[in-house]
Amino acid sequence: MISVGIDAGSATTKAVLVKDDSSIVHSIHPTAFDFVSAAEKAYEDVLRVAGIERKDVDSVYSTGYGRNNINFANKAISEITAHAMGVYHFYSEVKGIIDIGGQDCKVIAVNDGKVTDFLMNDKCAAGTGKFLEYTARALEVPIEELGNLALASESPAGITSMCTVFAESEVISLRAKGFSKEDIAAGLVESIARRVAVMARQVGLKENVAFVGGVAKNTGIKAALEKELGISLHMVPEPQITGALGAALYGNS
Amino acid sequence: MPMPVGKMHSFKSLENIKNSYIERIHQVSDERKKGKKSVGTFCLFVPDEIIFAAGADRMILCGGKNDTVSIAEQYLPRNICPLVKSSFGSIVNDGCSGIKSCSHFSMVDMIVAENTCDSKKKMYELLDNYVPTYVIDLPQRPDTPEAMRYFLSELEKFRDAMEQLTGNKVTDERLKEEIRSSNETRKLLHKLYELRKRDPSPISGIEVLKILQKQYFLSPDKLKEYLRELINEVESTEPEQVHKPRIMISGCPMPGGNTKVPAIIESKGGAIVAEESCTGTRSFWDMVDENKDHMLALAERYIKIPCSCMSPNERRIDNILELAREFKVDGVVYYTLQFCHGYNIEKYKVQQALKKAGIPMLSIETDYSDSDVEQIGLRVDAFLEMIS
């Protein structure tokens, strides 16, 4: 049984090939403008690496923002269901998932790999990777360094705005007041952690919570979220590919 | 806007309703030429029976179109509900400058409003500058004898205002007739909803919604005619035997022009089988008692409408649970309009109650624009996958 999952995300397109439930190959491509050609490239990539031909693939399931545009997929499933399955594969005790991506933030309650409840942030960049991207820019630091900078702070600056646009101007005014980069970075990280923690509490996540999505790679955010929620977050080996993996496994089941 | 997939068939009687808008416009226009008065309403709390008994006609003026929202924003704050903005925009622009299906907004001699939520209440004050606006006050702790007495006195004042507008007396005889007629409509709607309890439901949610959106727009006779035809047709049609997840919508009204969320739900493969909404069960669920003093019977029936402006509003929670069981729903989509504080805040209580009953709920807060169609689609996909 060979199944492929394609996660057509807004920033990156991920493909995962699963053979007989065990061997897993993945590939990550920037999505750029064209969802379909990014998906094609990622698909060809995993086929090449796995040494498998297209005709031998039993099912292709798509997920992610562009899931309905992938014409070579047999079926599209939501990334919420896909992430739950993907994380469950790595971490079978999982009861909750926090997924912070570029465009949105999802909090999912899971039981036996199945979604039992979920929340997504509403129509706005608050609590997403975009928030970090914009505010890091106002701080003139690369986004990857934001987390480590934050960890070096001893008294985080208070960032009161949840709104990305207003937070950006708040950062500029804190800079003007002479706050250090570290303290502002810590303020930003705390602000996003607070926002996400509210959602996690609404869905009732308490233990065995996995942290996935592109932002999960950011250690500062992880530390701030753990402090805010009072639990330690479980990391899966490849947090960026759990959606594509889940789609592949869904097709497999 | 996505179209429902796997649609069973189209009902012929629904095709007829497509022409009903223009027919109704001609009807009201002719009536007015002959001196009949026409009033505009916004809300279930205004008893139709009194309007008709006074010999006037009525049309609902709730706006469901996005086009007129920006017109209203010249006068009203941006951060209020789209229904209020859309309605106001349609009215002040005198028939919406040629926007299709809008001319009825300029065809009323008086508006009969009601004090429900803050946005509407304050909007009515501005509306009075454009069309004479009569406001029925509404006690919002409905379960006290004082509230009943007060609401009855408000309805009596309203009856006098209608008599003054039309020059006709609202006799007991006329009221009795109109109550019987309205109850008949309610019974027909019950019959239609009864058919939706079948699994699979023989009619889509969008199809039912499109009729309910015209419930207070059409003349009662025409509405009943359409309902009878439709019920006959639905009763005699075999639905396709495909089980789809059964969804109940609960929350804010969806006035004519707004089918955004139901269209998404049904295009993703869900079947809407009930709506706990003003464009749903709230409008027809309870009858008016025909065997007691007519004004008192009206007051008793109307004050019990479980709108979120009422407090406490346990009646609504009980009703939602009862409907969810009766219609055997797999999940509830709690639908709210942005800035509708009543229904948005009440969501918490509804969610707790549904959780206790083991019924999954998805919450969608939105407006009339298409900007969030994709995001809502994702949530609906995930919800349907979750409950399937």
Note whether residue B139 is domain-resident: yes
Max distance between CA atoms of chain A, in angstroms, equals: 63
Q: Which domain holds residue B142?
A: 20-168
> Considering the domain boundaries, does residue B251 fall inside one?
no
Pick A20 or B376 by higher pLDDT. B376
Out of B360, B365, B385, closest to residue A122 by CB: B365
What CATH number did the domain enclosing B119 receive?
3.40.50.11890
Query: Structure tokens of B83?
Result: 């229904």
CA distance B334 to B359: 12
Inter-chain CB proximity B382 and A80 less than 8 Å: yes
- A117 contacts on B by Cβ (under 8 Å): 360, 386
Whole-number Å distance between alpha carbons of B295 and B43 = 18
Best mutation target, A118, A123, A124, to test chain B (most B CBs within 10 A): A123
Q: How many domains is chain B partitioned into structurally?
A: 1
Mean pLDDT across chain A:
90
- pLDDT at site A24: 87
Could you give the 3-state DSSP secondary structure of residue A114? strand
Q: How do beta strands B271-276 and B133-136 pair? A: unpaired
Write the pLDDT tens digit of every residue in B269-318: 999 999 999 999 999 999 999 999 999 999 999 999 999 999 999 999 99
A interface mutation test: which of B334, B339, B359, B378 has the most A CBs within 10 A? B378
**Do B252 and B334 meet the contact criterion of CB atoms below 8 Å apart?**
no
| Mean pLDDT value of segment A243-253 | 92
Torsion of CA B188, B189, B190, B193, to 10 degrees: 130
Higher pLDDT, A205 or A129: A205
Residue B65 one-letter amino acid: K
Classify B15 as helix, strand or coil: helix
* Domains of chain A and any CATH numbers: 2-85+241-252 (3.30.420.40), 93-235 (3.30.420.40)
State whether B382 and A65 contact (CB < 8 Å): no
- Structure confidence at residue B263 (pLDDT): 98
- pLDDT surpasses 90 at B173: yes
pLDDT tens, position by position, A28-59:
999 888 889 999 999 999 999 999 999 999 99
Q: Contact A80/B360, CB-based, under 8 Å?
A: no
- A247, A18 Cβ separation under 8 angstroms: no
Contacts B371 to A, Cβ<8 Å: 123
Interface test mutation site (partner A, options B334, B339, B386, B387, max chain A beta carbons within 10 A): B386
Task: For residue B222, tell me if it sits in a domain.
Answer: no
Burial class (CB in 10 A: 0-12, 13-18, 19+), B323: buried
Is B7 a residue whose pLDDT tops 70? Answer: no
Identify the band that residue A93 occupies on the pLDDT scale cut at 50, 70 and 90.
very high
Task: Tell whether B372 is within 8 A of chain A (Cβ).
Answer: yes
Quickly tell me which residue has 């031998």 as its tokens: A56
**Mean of pLDDT values over B55-71:** 94
Give the strand order in the sheet containing B361-366: B271-276, B246-251, B331-337, B361-366
The answer to whether the CB of B173 falls within 8 A of the CB of B254 is no
Residue B234 lies in a domain: no
- Distance separating alpha carbons of residues B32 and B21, to the nearest angstrom: 17
Cβ B136 vs Cβ B113: under 8 Å: yes
In this prediction, residues A92-118 reach a mean pLDDT of 92
Q: Is residue B277 part of a domain?
A: no
B386 touches chain A (CB under 8 A): yes
Residue A86 distance to chain B (closest CA, Å): 15
Answer yes or no: is B230 within a domain.
no
Residues of chain A with C-beta less than 8 angstroms from the C-beta of B375: 104, 120, 123
B385 domain residue, yes or no: no
Spatial distance between the Cα atoms of A156 and A171, rounded to a whole number of angstroms: 12
H-run or E-run covering B276: strand B271-276
Helix (H) or strand (E) segment spanning residue B246: strand B246-251
Chain A touched by B269 (CB under 8 Å): no
Asked if the structure places residue B89 within a domain, the reply is yes
Please give the C-alpha separations between residue A22 and each of A1, A17, A50, A52, A109, in angstroms, as whole numbers: 10, 10, 13, 15, 25
Nearest to A83 by CA among A60, A53, A57, A106: A106
Q: Where are the beta strands (DSSP E) in A101-208?
A: 105-111, 114-120
Phi, psi of A18 (to 5 degrees): -115, 125
CA distance B77 to B99: 23
**Distance, in angstroms, between A77 CA and closest chain B CA?**
7
Q: Phi and psi dihedrals of B128, rounded to 5?
A: -55, -25
**pLDDT category, B5, cuts 50, 70, 90?**
very low
Residue-level pLDDT at B6: 44
Does the beta carbon of A198 lie under 8 angstroms from any beta carbon of chain B? no
pLDDT the model gives residue B93: 79
Quote ipTM for the complex. 0.89
Residues 168-197 of A with CB under 8 A from B: none
Q: How far apart are the first and last CA of chain A?
A: 10
Q: Give bridge partners of residue A212 from the DSSP assignment.
A: A99
Beta partners for residue A7, in sequence order: A14, A63
- What letter would DSSP give residue B287? P
Answer whether A118 sits within 8 Å of B382, measured CB to CB. yes
Distance separating the N- and C-terminal Cα atoms of chain B: 24
CA distance A156 to chain B (A): 33
Mean pLDDT of A142-155: 89
Q: Which helix (H) or strand (E) holds A220?
A: helix A219-229
Kindly determine whether residue A118 and residue B365, on different chains, have CB atoms separated by under 8 Å: no
Token pair of B26 as six digits:
């001609």
In angstroms, the Cα distances linking A2 to A28, A49, A241 are: 19, 14, 17
- The pLDDT score that the predictor gives to residue B1 is 41
pLDDT tens for B349-359 read 999 999 999 99
Residue A79, chain B, CB below 8 Å: the answer is: yes
The residue among A65 and B296 whose pLDDT is bigger is: B296
- Per-residue model confidence as pLDDT tens digits over A127-145: 788 888 888 888 898 888 8
Cα B366 from Cα B343, distance rounded (Å) = 12
